[in-house]
Amino acid sequence: METYRIAVVAGDGIGPEVMAECVKVLKAAAALDGGFAFEFTDFPWGCEYYLKTGKMMPDDGIETLSGYDAILLGAVGYPGVPDNISLRDLLLRIRHDFDQYVNLRPVKLLKGAPCPLKDVKQEDINMTFVRENTEGEYAGSGAWLYKGQPNEVVIQNGVFSRKGTERVIRYAYELARKEHKTLTSISKANALNYSMVFWDSVFKEVGEEYPDVETHSYLVDAASMFMVKDPGRFQIVVTSNLFGDILTDLGAAIAGGMGLAAGANLNPERKFPSMFEPIHGSAPDIAGRQIANPLAAIWSASQLLDFFGHEDWGARILEVMEDMLVNHREALTPDQGGTASTAECGDMFVKLLQG
């Protein structure tokens, strides 16, 4: 029997609360299937660890994680530790060092999930974002000159390598071809006269190898407007790190809220472990109260199952999620109008999964 070794970095705030439910669901799926198993190892890394040790993870943290088949991440960041340290030294470090260059984020409105848009049908919101995940504006390249002086200058570079741009765009074309969907590139070449002119030219160039894929290109400002006014235009979407970050929070808002938004950080070559996470943060405003919605974390479990080739279980998890959103609303957490605690929501999920 195949046993997947999973590193669990639950992290900060509501991270551990939602992670407990995600792990529950994965264990239940494996037990029901009988053909595969999980072995979970917890790593208590994050802001509390930082306050004790001065580090977000041990010096050999990346080496330790490299021995696992996948990583589950809860959330990182907490008041008391500057966000630029906590996120860069843990979450962004893992994405970067494991070359998880594809950030796959479904923006799909499930049946029963709330949508703030008027006159939009449920099936009109069904996109997959392929966000570049290792470079762009989040590469961490720049300078801070004359700090504190009147002539102070800060520079944050946008880094777009040919290799990095080409591979993520190619991944998106392959996905569009496989799923018989349209592919939309979102960029901003009118103002970003180096990086985005380059991005657009690579999108066109790679596209010559995919004449069967219907493509569209939008400027990011117009794309934000269309995501609200006419989301049915978008199917597979490929975009840069920064634009993808912002647009997928907009995506979360139109597809049920932050409590339902998940993402996979993939190293498609499988040279390094990939990482699965809810896209929300540590939510310090509700942490420790058992009211966080675990469904986003559970959706990321569905992505993990897809990644390991158990698409039947990946799909089954989304089916159960819809069943909860439509027929068992009392078992949802308060952000979805329910009255259940995080753990009660997870328990009901497992019960429905078991049929």
Task: Give the integer Cα–Cα distance in Å for 204 and 198.
Answer: 10
H/E stretch holding 172 reads: helix 162-179
Binding mask 218-247 for Mn ion (x = CB under 5 A): ---------------------------x--
Binding mask 60-89 for ligand IPM (x = CB under 6 A): ---------------------------x--
- Residue 258 interacting with ligand NAD (CB under 6 A): yes
Amino acid at 148: G
Q: Which of 133, 134, 293, 341 binds ligand NAD (CB under 6 A)?
A: 293
- Residue 76 interacting with ligand NAD (CB under 6 A): yes
Give yes or no for a contact between 158 and 174, defined as CB atoms under 8 angstroms apart. Answer: no
Q: Which of 296, 301, 321, 350 binds ligand NAD (CB under 6 A)?
A: 296
- From ligand IPM, ligand NAD, Mn ion, none, which one binds at residue 292 (CB under 5 to 8 Å depending on kind)? ligand NAD
3-state helix/strand/coil string of 273-330:
CEEEEECCCCCCCCCCCCCCCCHHHHHHHHHHHHHCCCHHHHHHHHHHHHHHHHHCHH
- Residue 259 interacting with ligand NAD (CB under 6 A): yes
- Residue 335 interacting with ligand NAD (CB under 6 A): yes
Q: Which two tokens stand for residue 199?
A: 């991005």
Binding mask 213-252 for ligand IPM (x = CB under 6 A): --------------------------------x-------
- From ligand NAD, Mn ion, ligand IPM, none, which one binds at residue 112 (CB under 5 to 8 Å depending on kind)? none
- From ligand IPM, Mn ion, ligand NAD, none, which one binds at residue 293 (CB under 5 to 8 Å depending on kind)? ligand NAD
Q: Which of 32, 62, 87, 343 binds ligand NAD (CB under 6 A)?
A: 87
- From ligand NAD, ligand IPM, Mn ion, none, which one binds at residue 286 (CB under 5 to 8 Å depending on kind)? ligand NAD
Q: Pick between residue 112 and residue 256 the one whose CB is nearest to ligand IPM.
A: 256
Q: Which of 16, 61, 77, 231 binds ligand NAD (CB under 6 A)?
A: 77
Q: Which two tokens stand for residue 287?
A: 């942490």
Give yes or no for a contact between 8 and 334, defined as CB atoms under 8 angstroms apart. Answer: no
DSSP of 113-161:
-----TT--GGG-EEEEEEE-SSBTTS--EEEESTTSTT-EEEE--B--
Task: Give the integer Cα–Cα distance in Å for 165 and 160.
Answer: 6
CA dihedral 343, 347, 349, 353 (to 10 degrees): 150
Give yes or no for a contact between 77 and 87, defined as CB atoms under 8 angstroms apart. Answer: yes
Q: Which two tokens stand for residue 91?
A: 């979450």
- From Mn ion, ligand NAD, ligand IPM, none, which one binds at residue 300 (CB under 5 to 8 Å depending on kind)? none
* Positions in 279-318 near ligand IPM (CB under 6 A): 279
Residues forming the site for ligand NAD (CB under 6 A): 14, 18, 75-77, 83, 87, 91, 258-259, 277, 280-286, 292-293, 296, 335
